[in-house]
Amino acid sequence: MKLMKTAVIIPAYNEQDSIAKVIDYIPKELVSEIIVVNNNSTDNTAEAAKKAGATVLLETFQGYGAACLKGINYCKEKNFDVILFLDGDYSDYPEEAKEILAPILNNEYDFVLGSRRMGKREKGALPIQSQIGSIIAGILIKLFWGVKYTDLGPFRAIKFDKLLALNMEDKWYGWTVEMQIKAAREKYRIKEIPVKYRNRIGKSKVTGTIKGTVMASIIILSTIFKYALKLK
């Protein structure tokens, strides 16, 4: 069986205090390259990531999805088989990449998601608004596309050819749900596994703020309905 080559893509915006720890804890024997996509950080995120051994790209369009897309475009130039996505805030346990990747490396699944709601969470790590959002999105996706998801978390791995076939396009926080909807629609072999989740280092920019929560909720719901109504 062919050995699969894995790249990690980490979108990051002002994560200078956490990014090196995230990179350090990624099991190096499992991944060929760690790509941090710096999204206009005004702190030392880029320098810290470079020092920790990552490839650092700059995406000037401000948005989570835009940063992920930049990472994908970079990976197209290289022969990766699997892409692992992870946030730069040290909320996830990067060492669990082993469990996330295993079902893909064993060729049993195309897309593996870390579910924070199935896993052990530190108190306060996953705000109630984020949990409610994941539950509602889960119900709607099950209704429209028949696949049960318990979370919209960032920690996930997917076969690269399958990812490219999804033609991902969301530039903001609809990114994770878009991938899940399209993977369900394409009937990919999907597996959710429990992942641990802890309080991030530094300040939350999304679900920890009112503006971030409102924006993310609007984008996530409109993404679901856009695909459900086959507007896309």
Ligand X SMILES: Nc1nc2c(ncn2[C@@H]2O[C@H](COP(=O)(O)OP(=O)(O)O)[C@@H](O)[C@H]2O)c(=O)[nH]1
Interface residues with ligand X (CB under 6 A) are 11-13, 15, 39, 62-64, 67, 87-89, 200, 204-208
Q: How far is the CB of 132 from ligand X (least distance, A)?
A: 13
Q: How far is the CB of 112 from ligand X (least distance, A)?
A: 19
Please say which residue, 39 or 188, places its beta carbon nearer to ligand X: 39
Judged by CB under 5 A, which of 15, 89, 96, 110 binds Mg ion?
89
Please say which residue, 16 or 91, places its beta carbon nearer to Mg ion: 91
For residues 114 and 81, is the Cβ–Cβ distance under 8 A? no
Please say which residue, 13 or 188, places its beta carbon nearer to ligand X: 13
Judged by CB under 5 A, which of 91, 115, 176, 213 binds Mg ion?
91
Partner touching 88 among Mg ion, ligand X, none, CB below 5 to 8 Å by kind: ligand X
Identify the helix (H) or strand (E) that includes residue 13: none
Q: How many helices (H) and strands (E) does the chain have?
A: 8, 7
Give the whole-angstrom CA distance, residue 111 versus residue 114.
Answer: 10
Q: How far is the CB of 154 from ligand X (least distance, A)?
A: 6
* Residue-wise DSSP of 129-185: HHHHHHHHHHHHHHHHH----S---S-EEEEHHHHHHT-----STTHHHHHHHHHHH
Q: Does 176 bind Mg ion (CB under 5 A)?
A: no
Alpha carbons within 13 A on the beta-carbon side of 172: 14
For residues 145 and 181, is the Cβ–Cβ distance under 8 A? yes
Residues that bind Mg ion (CB under 5 A): 89, 91, 200
